[in-house]
Structure 1
Amino acid sequence: MYLLSPDLLSPTLSAFAELSFFPIFTNPVYASMCVLLAFVFDSILGEPKKYHPIVGLGNLIAVVERAFYPENNNRPRLLIRGVSAAFIVHSSLFICILLVVLAPSAIIESDNVHVWFGMLSVIILYICIAPRSLIQHISSVETTLASGNVENARVALSRVVSRDTCSLEEPEIAKAAIETLTENENDGVIAPLFWFLIGGPIGAVFFKVSNTLDSMWGYRNTRYNYFGRFSARVDDDLG
């Protein structure tokens, strides 16, 4: 029986719900296989070199910011617009995932819905984690620092931190590398895995969107102190 029928959404949404809410408890074999395959993909492929979805997410966030950032920069308006903008970004991604889940309904038999959703879950989790990239960047800093090439170590460090590295000396470079390893290990590995096991691919995406919003709006400066406050708080609570 194909899903293009009066109750075409029933099997698909049933699988979506079953594999999206606490999969570590409701379907631990599925959750474990998704995690294992996502790590295998990352170890073999690394981060996508072109058309990375996170880059697309960043572009979407920039568009939403331009649309929602108020001309009148009073505190209440900034706070309200910041909350609304974050809601729009999250809602857009949720709708996109739902459409991708339901799109093949016309050609996938109901018995294969779980297989399709499992494949989609692996791909989404693979995109949300980045252990190989993190190891490569930190190893580059370690290698150049060990060789005594402080200038190259500064350049390597600048690829993983947002601060200015031009004036950092060897002990400061090592300290910054350890700090960014700890932070990015959580943001790029531990937290996405945790939220995947709790909320399936939707949970992983929700965390990744929140984390990306925080990286773009979560600054205590004139522009983002109030507009990005909600996004920063959500990321702190999730991470």
Structure 2
Amino acid sequence: MSSTPAAAIFAAAWPALAMPLAALAGVGLDRRFGEVSRYHPLVGFGTYANFLERLLNRRQRGPGVLAWGLAVLPFAVFALLLRQVLPTPLAWLVDVIALYFALGAQSLIEHAEAIARPLAAGDLATARVKVGWIVSRDTSQLDTTGVAKAGVESVLENGNDAIFATLFWFAVGGAPGVILFRLANTLDAMWGYRNQRFNAFGWAAAKIDDLLNWPAARLTALSYALLGQTRQALACWRRQAPGWDSPNAGPVMAAGAGSLGVQLGGAAIYHGHEEIRPPLGCGPAPSSNDLARAIALVRRTLHGWLAALLLLGLGHGLLLFTGVIHA
């Protein structure tokens, strides 16, 4: 019996393997190089978005919808057309590069570790400064528990936005999908405020980001639950997430806190005003060690998602190679 050449097997399975291999490559680039410090595409996009906002913001929803479309759709459509006209190897490379620039895994982990190290060493002043870089609340008066809580909340929530929702939309649509999500998520961060300037104009940015984040947030919450105290995490998700303002942050942080066995939420000061947020999770308030555990949970979840994508690709590729299905 003659054996099939490995090249023929790989060629037959390539349509199924292209996406998971691109995901591995994009994550690998992010792990190796992190976020580029100069000339990041999102910096240029932010400048363009600010121009559109100054031009179109009449504090009405209609101009906000128009601005969102002008900001996001040309780049997503360009990526779609580019993938269609380029040869397969170059189209695959476009996917890898788009994912690399959209991911924030290494940046999130580095920022979180920069909080965890001084907090564990008892250097509260430095930890306060570092956590202030990644959260919007006032951190100047936080005690050790407050810093740990803010860090854990940010790691869990941004794990979804910066990593898992990005991977989800990459798996769905390659470069066009990941560009669509990342730009929409960036506009929500820029325009999605409930204040006089953005309440109407930023309505579309906030709602579209919620919609795009909805499926990924629930997969992230389920992943957090499966990789920790599963039963408790699922119970916290079911009971506590509906009480949180954000339809996506609630499930993610409730499941993550339940998985870790800590309690988040409570009082926090935003722009000089104290807000009492509903509790998330179950157990004691987090410590510096729990912040390290949250980082480890996000790492395990990332590895689990990559393994799942690769296994799905291999299974799909086997079906393509054996002729059970066709590309």
TM-score (norm 2): 0.59
Q: If each structure's strand is expressed as a fraction of its own residues, which one has the higher value?
A: 2
Higher RCO (C-alpha under 8 Å, 6+ residues apart): 1
Equivalent pair of 2:103/2:162 in contact (CA under 8 Å)? yes
Q: Distance in 1 between matches of 2:202 and 2:35?
A: 27
SS of 1:27's partner is helix
Is residue 2:63 matched to residue 1:81?
A: yes
Q: Distance in 2 between matches of 1:213 and 1:27?
A: 33
Structure-2 residue corresponding to 1:162: 136
When residues 26 and 224 of structure 1 are mapped into structure 2, their CA distance, relative to the original with a 3 A threshold, is farther
Is residue 2:33 matched to residue 1:45?
A: yes
Code of the aligned partner of 2:102? C
Listed as ranges, the matches of 1:101-140 within 5 Å are: 113-140=87-114
Structure-2 residue corresponding to 1:174: 148
Code of the aligned partner of 2:75? L
Structure-2 residue corresponding to 1:222: 196
TM-score (norm 1): 0.79
Deviation, structure 1 residue 85: 0.5
Code of the aligned partner of 2:158? N
Q: Distance in 1 between matches of 2:206 and 2:133?
A: 22
How many residues of Structure 1 are paired with residues of Structure 2 in the alignment? Answer: 201
Q: Distance in 1 between matches of 2:137 and 2:44?
A: 23
Is residue 2:38 matched to residue 1:64?
A: no
Is residue 2:40 matched to residue 1:92?
A: no
Q: Distance in 1 between matches of 2:61 and 2:37?
A: 36
Deviations 1:95-129 (A, max 9, x none): 54357558xx6xx7xxxx00010011100001111
Deviation, structure 1 residue 59: 1.0
Runs of 4+ in 1 over 2 A off after TM superposition: 25-28, 94-102
Q: Distance in 2 between matches of 1:225 and 1:169?
A: 33
Residue ranges of structure 1 left out of the alignment (5+ in a row): 1-24
Q: Distance in 2 between matches of 1:95 and 1:202?
A: 7
